[in-house]
Amino acid sequence: MNKRVLCMLLALCMLFSVFLAGCKKKDKTKTDDGENTRAVEQLPFGPEAPAAVKAALEEKLRESAMTPVQKYWDDESNYGTLVPYDGIVEHIFFHPIVAYPELAFDGDYKESGIDDWMVTVSEYNKILQSLYDKGYIIVNMNDVWTETTDESGKAVMQKNTLMLPEGKKPIIISYDDVNYYEYMLENGFTYKLIIGDDGDIWSWGLDPQGKEVVSQDLDAITIMDKFVNEHPDFSLFGAKGCLCLTGYEGILGYRTHTDKDDTSAEFEANRQKEIEAVKPIVARLKETGWYFGCHSWSHLNLAKASYERVVEDNERWQNEVGSLVGETKLYFYPFGGRLDGNDVTQTGPCFKYMQEQGFRVFASVGIESYSKIKGDICAVICDRLHPDGTTLRWSRSRYLQFYDAADIFDYDVRPDYGYDFSK
Ligand SMILES: [Zn+2]
């Protein structure tokens, strides 16, 4: 049993014993089992009292189980009147972040890819702070568009009016490849998400000396959790990010995938163990505002994939990942490669298939938070911006609305690949 549940039970017992003590002050001589029953029978309140007390206790329990950000949004007086917002909803995405730059930027063959596509812990912390300072508030991507029917009865997507605290600007944050791939483990990233004794999400990994480290300061997810607990007005009703998962090396650091080359009983037994181990992680992430999207099973370049390949990949994702994280309407193109040959002007057979499978929002990568509701099919296509090494080095101006790369860039630890902050 974890500490949070234990604390809640303890609080419940204390409250109940205080209540009982109050009820039976004059009758506290007997110690046999009959005492409690009689004490309850002699309640000085009306017959409805036990239900009222139960409700009060339940309310206390509910409150004690809430995170600080959940408590903040549970009380309207904290955030005041919400106002409608119909403007652009910005969308940025991260990959896993570099916990140990000395392992990531050590001159091996992975160095330049990590430099291109990742930010360091220090950069990530500064980016979150800057987004917050500039008035952004994280919204859940599922709340931005909804499926509805038009006058003719046809299913269409619609963009919703968001209700935000006055002056706030909405932003979606997504996280690609939150799988803790094998190659990342020796290259300066955390190894997996775990549940700590407090019931919250922590990361587990090894530091450069090989020592075990359990932390909330080294992983994009736990850092975000901490940040919104400290700044609850950064997260609309506790919304965090979308975790976009592949399946070929399991999810969230757990090896839940099948392997066509290893069908041994031993592999399968370990896989089942990993599946059981990841379930509470998924549940806790969902409880605390995280949600999930599909990033294909095999990190497939969908722009080049045949119809058969797209179907096979999706079935495997649904079986091995969807079965663990639940249904999602959100699809995130690996390499930004759009279905049916990257052609956004038409709706090809692969796009139609994925839409029939339940996907409604298809996100690629671009130079702005573009989005378009498709007219011929019930779906939204959109682009995301990408805070990472390439844009920190070469696209400062495009990201100034979020942060200034000159203030963010980790000069001390990144390799000497140059940068141009005049761009
Ligand atoms: Zn990816």
Helix and strand totals (H; E) in the chain:
17, 16
CA 107 to chain centre: 31
SS3 108: coil
Contact yes or no for 57/13 (Cβ under 8 A): no
Instruction: Please tell me the predicted confidence (pLDDT) of residue 63.
Output: 85
Give the integer Cα–Cα distance in Å for 305 and 293. Answer: 20
List CB-based neighbours of ion ligand 1 within 5 Å: 176-177, 334
What residues form DSSP beta bridges with 254? Answer: 251
Measured in Å, residue 87 CA sits from the centre of ligand 1 at 28
Measured in Å, residue 176 CA sits from the centre of ligand 1 at 5
Q: Is the same domain home to 194 and 55? A: no
Measured in Å, residue 179 CA sits from the centre of ligand 1 at 10
Measured in Å, residue 97 CA sits from the centre of ligand 1 at 13
Measured in Å, residue 175 CA sits from the centre of ligand 1 at 9
Give the integer Cα–Cα distance in Å for 285 and 264. Answer: 31
Whether 191 maps to a domain, the answer reads: yes
Measured in Å, residue 173 CA sits from the centre of ligand 1 at 15
Instruction: Please tell me the predicted confidence (pLDDT) of residue 61.
Output: 84
Q: Is the same domain home to 191 and 243? A: yes
Whether 78 maps to a domain, the answer reads: no
Q: What is the span of the domain harbouring residue 96?
A: 83-408
Please name the residue that has the structure tokens 């942060």.
403
Instruction: Please tell me the predicted confidence (pLDDT) of residue 57.
Output: 84
SS3 86: coil
Per-residue pLDDT of the chain (423 residues), as tens digits, is 455 545 455 555 454 444 444 443 333 333 344 334 444 444 445 556 678 888 888 888 888 889 999 999 999 999 999 999 999 999 999 999 999 999 999 999 999 999 999 999 999 999 999 999 999 999 999 999 999 999 999 999 999 999 999 999 999 999 999 999 999 999 999 999 999 999 999 999 999 999 999 999 999 999 999 999 999 999 999 999 999 999 999 999 999 999 999 999 999 999 999 999 999 999 999 999 999 999 999 999 999 999 999 999 999 999 999 999 999 999 999 999 999 999 888 899 999 999 999 999 999 999 999 999 999 999 999 999 999 999 999 999 999 999 999 999 999 999 999 999 999
Q: Is the same domain home to 33 and 154? A: no
Give the integer Cα–Cα distance in Å for 283 and 125. Answer: 25
Instruction: Please tell me the predicted confidence (pLDDT) of residue 31.
Output: 38
Q: Is the same domain home to 61 and 87? A: no
Q: Is the same domain home to 59 and 183? A: no
Measured in Å, residue 361 CA sits from the centre of ligand 1 at 17
Measured in Å, residue 299 CA sits from the centre of ligand 1 at 6
Measured in Å, residue 167 CA sits from the centre of ligand 1 at 33
Measured in Å, residue 118 CA sits from the centre of ligand 1 at 11
Whether 276 maps to a domain, the answer reads: yes
Q: Which helix (H) or strand (E) holds 174?
A: strand 169-176
Q: Is the same domain home to 181 and 38? A: no
- Of the candidates 384, 364, 380, 360, the one whose C-alpha atom is nearest the C-alpha of residue 372 is 380
What CATH code is carried by the domain that includes residue 247?
A: 3.20.20.370
Q: How many domains does one find in the chain?
A: 2
Measured in Å, residue 144 CA sits from the centre of ligand 1 at 23
